[in-house]
Amino acid sequence: MNDFYNSMCQDIEIKPLILEEGQVCVVYCEELKCWCRAIVKSIVSSADQYLAECFLVDFAKNIPVKSKNIRVAVESFMQLPYRAKKFSLYCTRPVTLHIDFCEDSTDIVIPAPGASVLVGEADLSQVAGMVVV
């Protein structure tokens, strides 16, 4: 994929005509220094170009990407399954670890059954996340 987007597309840029949320595309990740498959999560316009928040489907990572680094996904690259998988852990309650440095002791605090624990506005009675396989 890197060879294709680095060399084959030097002369012909295959940028998407329209950039929409939920769109599957290929983006250049400056941190990883490679082209990655991604899903556009949100789009923000700046003074000179658009900035898209993209979810890298093979690395389970959200990154901001400049619109100049977004390309149309070639069908043959999209036939491969994504490496990132969504998962949910039901009936999992968060715990808090209290460390008392003066007493040199620790305690694990578990919320009462049925109690809803809030972090910001998120209800953590059902924990969800992403994992790379």
Helix (H) or strand (E) holding 77: helix 75-78
Q: How confident is the model at residue 60 (pLDDT cuts 50, 70, 90)?
A: confident
For residue 68, name the pLDDT band (cuts at 50, 70, 90).
Answer: confident
What separation in angstroms does the CA of 123 have from each of 28, 113, 133?
A: 34, 14, 26
What is the set of domains in the chain, with CATH numbers? Answer: 2-81 (2.30.30.140), 86-132 (no CATH)
**C-alpha angle 75-76-79 in degrees, rounded to nearest 5:** 85
